[in-house]
Amino acid sequence: MLLFQKTFDIIAILTVITLSMLIPILFSRGKIKFIWWDYCFPYLGVPLWFVLQALDIGSTITTNNFLVEMFCILLASVATPWIRFGLTFINSNLIPKLSFSLTFFPLVVAIFVRLIMPELPA
Protein backbone atom coordinates (compact mmCIF):
# COMPACT_ATOMS: atom_id res chain seq x y z
CA MET A 1 0.00 0.00 0.00
CA LEU A 2 2.82 2.42 0.82
CA LEU A 3 4.48 1.87 -2.57
CA PHE A 4 1.19 2.63 -4.34
CA GLN A 5 0.72 5.77 -2.24
CA LYS A 6 4.24 7.00 -3.05
CA THR A 7 3.74 6.27 -6.74
CA PHE A 8 0.48 8.21 -6.75
CA ASP A 9 2.15 11.08 -4.87
CA ILE A 10 5.03 11.21 -7.37
CA ILE A 11 2.62 11.26 -10.33
CA ALA A 12 0.63 14.05 -8.67
CA ILE A 13 3.81 16.06 -7.97
CA LEU A 14 5.05 15.71 -11.55
CA THR A 15 1.61 16.71 -12.87
CA VAL A 16 1.55 19.85 -10.72
CA ILE A 17 5.07 20.75 -11.89
CA THR A 18 4.04 20.28 -15.54
CA LEU A 19 0.90 22.37 -15.22
CA SER A 20 2.68 25.15 -13.35
CA MET A 21 5.42 25.34 -16.00
CA LEU A 22 3.08 25.82 -18.95
CA ILE A 23 1.94 29.38 -18.26
CA PRO A 24 5.37 30.98 -17.66
CA ILE A 25 6.90 29.19 -20.63
CA LEU A 26 4.08 30.17 -22.97
CA PHE A 27 4.11 33.83 -21.94
CA SER A 28 7.89 34.27 -21.96
CA ARG A 29 8.60 32.44 -25.21
CA GLY A 30 9.25 35.61 -27.17
CA LYS A 31 11.38 37.18 -24.45
CA ILE A 32 13.99 34.49 -23.73
CA LYS A 33 15.35 31.57 -25.69
CA PHE A 34 14.44 28.15 -24.34
CA ILE A 35 16.58 25.06 -24.65
CA TRP A 36 15.84 21.48 -23.65
CA TRP A 37 17.31 22.07 -20.17
CA ASP A 38 14.64 24.67 -19.44
CA TYR A 39 11.99 22.01 -19.84
CA CYS A 40 13.85 19.39 -17.78
CA PHE A 41 15.22 21.15 -14.71
CA PRO A 42 12.04 21.37 -12.61
CA TYR A 43 11.67 17.60 -12.77
CA LEU A 44 15.20 16.79 -11.57
CA GLY A 45 14.62 17.48 -7.86
CA VAL A 46 12.41 14.42 -7.40
CA PRO A 47 14.82 11.86 -8.95
CA LEU A 48 17.73 13.45 -7.08
CA TRP A 49 15.83 12.96 -3.82
CA PHE A 50 15.47 9.25 -4.59
CA VAL A 51 19.17 8.99 -5.44
CA LEU A 52 20.10 10.67 -2.15
CA GLN A 53 17.71 8.38 -0.29
CA ALA A 54 19.21 5.30 -1.96
CA LEU A 55 22.70 6.45 -0.96
CA ASP A 56 21.49 6.82 2.68
CA ILE A 57 22.18 10.53 2.75
CA GLY A 58 20.08 12.21 5.41
CA SER A 59 17.71 10.78 7.99
CA THR A 60 15.68 7.60 7.81
CA ILE A 61 12.67 7.91 5.52
CA THR A 62 9.24 7.82 7.08
CA THR A 63 5.99 8.63 5.37
CA ASN A 64 5.99 12.09 6.94
CA ASN A 65 9.58 12.71 5.83
CA PHE A 66 8.64 11.73 2.31
CA LEU A 67 5.65 14.07 2.23
CA VAL A 68 7.40 17.08 3.79
CA GLU A 69 10.54 16.75 1.67
CA MET A 70 8.59 16.22 -1.55
CA PHE A 71 6.43 19.24 -0.73
CA CYS A 72 9.56 21.39 -0.35
CA ILE A 73 10.93 20.12 -3.67
CA LEU A 74 7.53 20.72 -5.29
CA LEU A 75 7.49 24.33 -4.08
CA ALA A 76 10.99 24.94 -5.45
CA SER A 77 10.17 23.27 -8.77
CA VAL A 78 6.98 25.30 -9.20
CA ALA A 79 8.49 28.61 -8.08
CA THR A 80 11.56 28.49 -10.32
CA PRO A 81 9.82 28.90 -13.72
CA TRP A 82 7.70 31.70 -12.28
CA ILE A 83 10.76 33.51 -10.89
CA ARG A 84 12.49 33.17 -14.25
CA PHE A 85 9.34 34.50 -15.91
CA GLY A 86 9.42 37.54 -13.63
CA LEU A 87 13.09 38.12 -14.41
CA THR A 88 12.39 38.37 -18.14
CA PHE A 89 10.86 41.80 -17.60
CA ILE A 90 13.90 43.23 -15.79
CA ASN A 91 16.64 44.80 -17.88
CA SER A 92 20.03 44.03 -16.35
CA ASN A 93 23.25 42.30 -17.32
CA LEU A 94 22.99 39.93 -14.34
CA ILE A 95 19.61 38.50 -15.31
CA PRO A 96 20.91 35.75 -17.67
CA LYS A 97 23.36 34.55 -15.02
CA LEU A 98 20.74 34.67 -12.28
CA SER A 99 18.25 32.93 -14.53
CA PHE A 100 20.75 30.17 -15.28
CA SER A 101 21.59 29.72 -11.60
CA LEU A 102 17.88 29.39 -10.78
CA THR A 103 17.77 26.23 -12.85
CA PHE A 104 19.71 24.46 -10.11
CA PHE A 105 17.36 25.63 -7.37
CA PRO A 106 15.22 22.41 -7.24
CA LEU A 107 18.40 20.32 -7.03
CA VAL A 108 19.80 22.44 -4.21
CA VAL A 109 16.51 22.23 -2.32
CA ALA A 110 16.46 18.44 -2.70
CA ILE A 111 19.96 18.17 -1.26
CA PHE A 112 19.23 20.71 1.47
CA VAL A 113 16.03 19.08 2.75
CA ARG A 114 17.58 15.65 2.59
CA LEU A 115 20.50 16.82 4.76
CA ILE A 116 18.68 18.94 7.36
CA MET A 117 15.34 17.16 7.80
CA PRO A 118 15.24 15.19 11.05
CA GLU A 119 13.50 11.83 11.19
CA LEU A 120 9.80 12.58 11.61
CA PRO A 121 7.48 10.15 13.37
CA ALA A 122 5.49 7.90 11.09
Check: pTM over 0.85? Answer yes or no.
Answer: no
Backbone conformation region of residue 9, classed left if phi is above 0, alpha if psi is from -120 to 50, else beta: alpha
pLDDT at 4: 61
Neighbours of 8 (CB within 10 A): 10
As a whole number of angstroms, the distance between CA 63 and CA 2 comes to 8
pLDDT tens, per residue, the chain with 122 residues: 455 667 888 888 888 888 888 888 777 767 776 667 777 778 888 899 989 988 988 888 888 888 899 899 989 988 888 887 787 777 777 777 777 788 788 999 999 999 998 888 87
Distance (Å) of CA 4 to CA 9, 29, 42, 122:
9, 37, 23, 17
pLDDT at 1: 41
